[in-house]
Structure 1
Amino acid sequence: MAESPTEKTHIASNEMTPVATHDTAQLVEKGAEAGGEDLAKGQEDRSGIPGASFNVANSILGSGIIGLPYAMKKAGLPFGILLLMLIAGVTDYSLLLLIRGGELSGTDTYQGLVQAALGSPGFYFLSFIQFAYPFVAMVGYNVIIGDTLTKVFERILSADHVLANRYFIISIITVLISLPFSLYRNVSKLVKVAVVSIALLGVLIVIIYIRVGTLHIPDTEGAWNFANFQFTESIGIITFAYICHHNSFLVYTSMETPTPHSWSKVTHIAVLLATILSCLVGIGGYVTFTGYTQGDVLQNYCHVDDLANVARVVFAVTIVCTYPLECFVCREVLENFIVHHGWASSPQPMTRHLILTLVLVGLTLGLSMSTSCLGIVLSINGIIAAVPLVFILPTLCYIRLKEGHWYSREKIPSILICGFGFLVCIFGIVTICIDPSSSRCHSKDLDYCVALNMSSEVQPTGMSVMTEMYATAT
């Protein structure tokens, strides 16, 4: 009997069960049985370079982007911008290394690549952080949705209204929007959602810069330092914002022409777009609030600021649009783990697809009900999960799989990036342990908002009063 494409991949990757996306596997099987008729139909559902670029950019521009002003505060604005540019370049390079490593190892998933290059220990380590990062991100998305929308409804209606209850808001958004989108089996279906998400992010940026010109908060001491000691924590936050490696193979295999050349175009476009928008948010948010800047910059805007409430709604919608892509990754990691251990066969049946999706969405819903403070998540998740995913594992895999000495010229950039990643992990953890208060959650209004809330009882929408209160607050 002739070997199937799946079996060939299995043999080529040292007895490792292939972990291709299940839509791809189904298309291959159908094409063999029906003379390629269904395969051609499946190709119509695949995304081109622009669509794949929007999916990658949307994955980058998730909840981490509102933490970038805080990263500028930790690093110092000039040095923070330099770090953002550096990490953008490393992100682009490491995304290319992932696909090159996949070509060298004959695999088409991140887990398969690490298994082929680093063996079972690497596979288990990656499986953990590749699942943990998007899972925690999904919990964070629910928390952000609950915290932002409830404040908006509290402002419009009242604090006692059912829509001002964060538990109700999180539940209803999850059931009516997040869950249906997460049930898609083909990531290319989310291209339109990604376009909407990025367009709304543009609206958020416009609102931030309107407030740069209308809010005049006194600068804090050391606001314009070139660099600050906590820059390693800033690296974790920025890396958290840029991480998209955990779903890169999902997007790659959903393309019409999945080749390294077309993928390089996708990464260049996506990273450039994400960098421009990230710089705008980071600079605009920090310039407005300087030393007052919180982990979630939207928390710096007062509850009675109606334009800021529009920004909160806009960002909540972008988060809803990003949630399904992270769910795709968590489900794929679990599926690959199940198949890898022989507990179930591939391709994935609809029943298992539904069960995994419902379990993931249910768990994130339950955990998001238990907390309203995720300030330290940006730093810890960035340093412990995002840095290995971006800096360490792609470069280690390339060094192991590429022919030639480990110190050859082609491997030197990978060696430098890998070493830098290890240093960031070590110093980042030390910094957080030394100064844990830096990631403390702010649950109350800042001083200038307290004064503004008192005045709003007389003039609830008076922008002149708001500007005056911001200007006199210290």
Structure 2
Amino acid sequence: MSPAAGIQLPLLPEHKPPERRASVSGAVFNVSTSIIGAGIMSIPATLKVLGILPAFVLIVVVAWLSDISAEFLLRFTHSGDTTTYAGVMRETFGRVGSVAVQLCVMITNLGCLIIYLIIIGDVLSGSQHEQSVHLGVLQEWFGIHWWNSRAFALLLILLFVMLPLVLFRRVESLRFSSAISVLLAVAFVGVSSVMAIFALLEGKTKTPNLLPHLDNEASFFNLFTSVPVIVTAFTFHFNVHPIGFELGKSSDMITAVRISLALCAAIYFAIGVFGYLLFGDSIMSDILVNFDRSSGSVSGALLNDVVRLSYTLHLMLVYPVVNFSLRVNIDELVFPKKPLLETDTRRFVSLTIILLVFTYLAAITIPNIWYFFQFMGSTSAVCLGFIFPGAIAERDVHGISTAKDRIIAAIMITLAVVTSSIAISSNICSFIGNKT
């Protein structure tokens, strides 16, 4: 029949262009970028504390548990009527659960964004650690000027690199910058491995410890401080829903998560081994400081600059991905009854600018928040990655948990609570000891 007769009108919606779904490859890059952030710099230091074999086991176990917890989140979300992490917690624990998730995302992601900017500022414009002063790459190349100060350098980066990226309204739109970010992390590991191989040929490498050295009871408890570092390094659960629901199929997201976890675990272990071979027991909690100090020994200044700049550019591209879920959760907390953030231009742009300005001001005024980073790994990151997903599976409001799910969830929660409690106590004792 002729469409003019009106008979075909009900079929018209079928001719609308379908909503573009995200690709699995794009999801892999975005998940990997969510995982690999500042945590990679602390991995070599954990190998110094744990030894090669325990560190390898811990990386594998945390990656495995992260995969299970992400699967819990996806399964219970698709069984309910929500599309967000806060939403599935609201269905399970009510308003208290959703607010708990939103606060943990705010603490974790906001802390990470500030740390990223601090690291970028340290690399480009230098830093001062106690009595030692480290020049930034720009200062080494051009001398100390007003235009390569921390405040001005970070301002230019925010305006011309980060602002265009954070204005994207779909996380899938960040897949290309995330791909570059992952490649830069791989390049960081590649250059470090080349430096380690040359050092090995010259007989200048340090022999890594396969097992930890335990001198006393305090040394044993210090081992637990490494757990939050690894947990934080694998925390990506705040982006499971934004990335997963652009894919459409839960199975595609599970595939993307597993590929990303395997890739990131390999990167973490490689940089840990090569970093430890290069610097041994002198390795710092921030390995970039070691590269700054090694220009006259293991490698030339050029390689050191390549390592530091590649990782700095990597962090610039990580920032928009981590910012994405932070912005959504803040909006969901403050404006719970408003329409979707991406549909309200004024609200979207305003919140984006506020977050950029806040993280910028924090980065140029706070000299060091590494203690906060350690505390964050022991609290909010652990909750997002393990405690909340395990609690959702245990509560099982949809009646879909198996006996195996409940056992794994109970183990996950117990390990998270015990190790985090010990780590928090050790960090507090260490902080008080340093102050006295």
Relative to the length of structure 1, the TM-score reads 0.79
The one-letter amino acid of 2:246's match is: S
Q: Is the alpha carbon distance of 1:417 and 1:75 closer, same or farther for their aligned partners in structure 2, counting shifts above 3 Å?
A: same
Select 1:287's aligned residue among 274, 277, 284. Answer: 277
Q: Match of 2:423?
A: 428
Give the one of 191, 205, 209 matched to 1:207.
Answer: 191
**1:85/1:275 contact within 8 Å kept:** yes
Which of residues 3, 6, 13 is equivalent to 1:35?
13
Answer yes or no: is 1:411 the counterpart of 2:406.
Answer: yes
Distance 1:203 1:350, change over 3 A: same
Distance 2:11 2:140 in 1: 59
Distance 1:405 1:357, change over 3 A: closer
Cα RMSD for the two superposed structures: 2.5
Q: Call closer, same or farther: CA 1:320–1:438 in 2, change over 3 Å.
A: farther
Equivalent position SS for 1:376: helix
Question: Residue 143 of structure 1 aligns to a residue in which SS?
Answer: helix
Classify the secondary structure of the residue corresponding to 1:35.
helix
Asked if residue 272 in structure 1 is aligned to residue 268 in structure 2, the reply is no
Conservation of the 8 A alpha-carbon contact between 1:217 and 1:289:
no
* Structure 1 counterpart of 2:25, from 41, 44, 50: 50
1:310 matched to 2:306? The reply is: yes
Name 1:189's counterpart in structure 2: 173
Distance 1:119 1:225, change over 3 A: same
Offset of 1:106 from its aligned partner? 2.3
- For residues 244-287 of structure 1, the C-alpha deviation after alignment (integer angstroms, 9 at most, x for no partner) is 001110000111xx222222211111111111111111111122
CA distance in 2, matches of 1:439, 1:190: 42
> 2:198 & 2:147 partners in 1: Cα distance?
30
Give the letter aligned to residue 354 of structure 1. Answer: V
Q: Distance in 1 between matches of 2:186 and 2:415?
A: 33
Residue 224 to residue 412, structure 1, CA distance change in 2 (3 Å): closer
Q: Which AA in structure 2 matches 1:313?
A: L
> Could you tell me how far 1:223 is from its partner in structure 2?
4.9
Name the structure 1 match of 2:113. Answer: 138
Q: Is the 8 A contact 1:296 1:375 kept in 2?
A: no
Q: Does 1:123 align with 2:105?
A: no
Q: Decide whether aligned partners of structure 1 residues 364 and 280 sit closer, same or farther in structure 2, where only a CA change above 3 A counts.
A: same
Which amino acid letter does the alignment assign opposite residue 157 of structure 1? Answer: F
Kindly report structure 1 stretches of 4+ aligned residues shifted beyond 6 Å: 437-440
* Pairing 1:365–2:355 present: no
Pairing 1:381-400 to 2, within 5 Å after superposition: 381-400=376-395
Distance in 1 (alpha carbons) for counterparts of 2:178 and 2:400: 42
Task: Give the count of matched residue pairs.
Answer: 400
Q: Which consecutive residues of structure 1, in runs of 5 or more, have no partner in the other structure?
A: 1-31, 441-474
Change (3 A) 1:34 1:322: farther
Give the Å deviation of 1:372: 3.2
Mapped to 1, the partners of 2:33 and 2:266 lie a distance apart of: 13
- Of 230, 240, 243, 1:238 maps to 230
Quick one: higher RCO (CA 8 Å, sep 6+), 1 or 2? 2
Query: SS at 2:263's partner residue?
Result: helix
Deviation at residue 323 of structure 1 after TM alignment: 0.4
User: Distance between the aligned counterparts of 1:386 and 1:55, measured in 2?
Assistant: 18
